[in-house]
Amino acid sequence: MRTGKTVLVIGLSVFLAATASAQDFRVTLLGTGDPIPRPDRFGPATLVEVAGQELLFDVGRGAATRLVQMGVSLSGLDATFLTHFHHDHLIGLDDVWMTGWIPPPFGRRSEPMEIWGPTGTANLLSSLEKAFELNTSTRIPDELLPPEGIVLIAHEFDEDGVVYEKDGVKVIAFAVDHGELIKPAYGYRIDYDGRAVVISGDTRFDRNLIAAAKGADLIVHEVALASEELLASSEQFQRIVAHHTTPEEAGIVFAEVNPKLAVYTHFVILSGPTIPEAPLSTLIPRTRKNYDGPLVVGEDLMSFEIGDTISISQAARTR
């Protein structure tokens, strides 16, 4: 059961749900971290529950654990979507795939797992199947597992547009700018019953994202934090931040999109051998230079119900 607690909400009057009710459009931040294996922030992953469908966007470290904590069966995902091919967005895929197939209640997948992503997805999935071939070939006869349940099906795309549509739910992919060498990279917009959610994926400031996000109720956006001292110390850190969105830039995005609620996720928080991470407390003041609207600093297992208003709940975590 999900239990409530106070969450950090800036500039928004919302209902803080003590227990999330069964609604038809809910977004949950499964992982809000970066490549660093943080115990409090797992790898990038977002669950969208809409019209009875379970849609997973990116599959970072610990995604399987977070799904089980949410009471979501790993074998029950209707679709999985990849934004790009950096390892921190993919490293939990084999876990969700394999663990969703084996006998315990959270597994038992008997049909193929379908994954949507940009060009390169099919190659990734075929390589995974090959890498786990010895595991698969022993489990099928030894545990009497259905071979159909371990099949991976890729749905690739290479341009902006609708990539998934079912029972009134429409998922639109749009290209984002994650850097000159980091292509392809995409964000997603999920539309249902006059409501919309946008997931930025990894991106620096991008007008295409702003255009795709117009009219969205909720925007879930990445952010990068680094101190001036750290950036001055290394070209490598400058390059990393240049691939992401600063709080000031995110403020411009939010101001132009004007959502009911903006939420930060995928916190890329950098540090050096002798230079500590920039404090998270600087995030809101820096964003406020360009945006004074509703804003939330996301946490793992924070959920958002998308209705006439947006309600927020925070599930209990086991650490």
CB-CB neighbours of 153 under 10 Å: 13
**Which listed residue (88, 191, 202, 206) is catalytic?**
88
Which residues lie across from 25 on neighbouring strands? 50
Residue with tokens 């038992």, as numbered in its chain: 108
> Of 160, 246, 156, 159, nearest to 203 (Cα)?
246
> How far is 84 from 51, CA to CA, in rounded Å?
26
The answer to whether residue 88 is catalytic is: yes
Q: Are 266 and 202 in contact (CB under 8 A)?
A: yes
What is the identity of the amino acid at 222? E
As a whole number of angstroms, the distance between CA 131 and CA 85 comes to 17
CA 237-229-203 angle, to 5 degrees, is 35
Tokens 């946490």 found at: 299
Partnered with residue 38 across adjacent β-strands are: none
Rg of the Cα atoms in the chain: 19
DSSP E strands, 158-217: 161-166, 169-175, 186-192, 195-199
Q: Are 34 and 268 in contact (CB under 8 A)?
A: yes
CB atoms within 10 A of CB 235: 8
> Which residue numbers are catalytic?
88
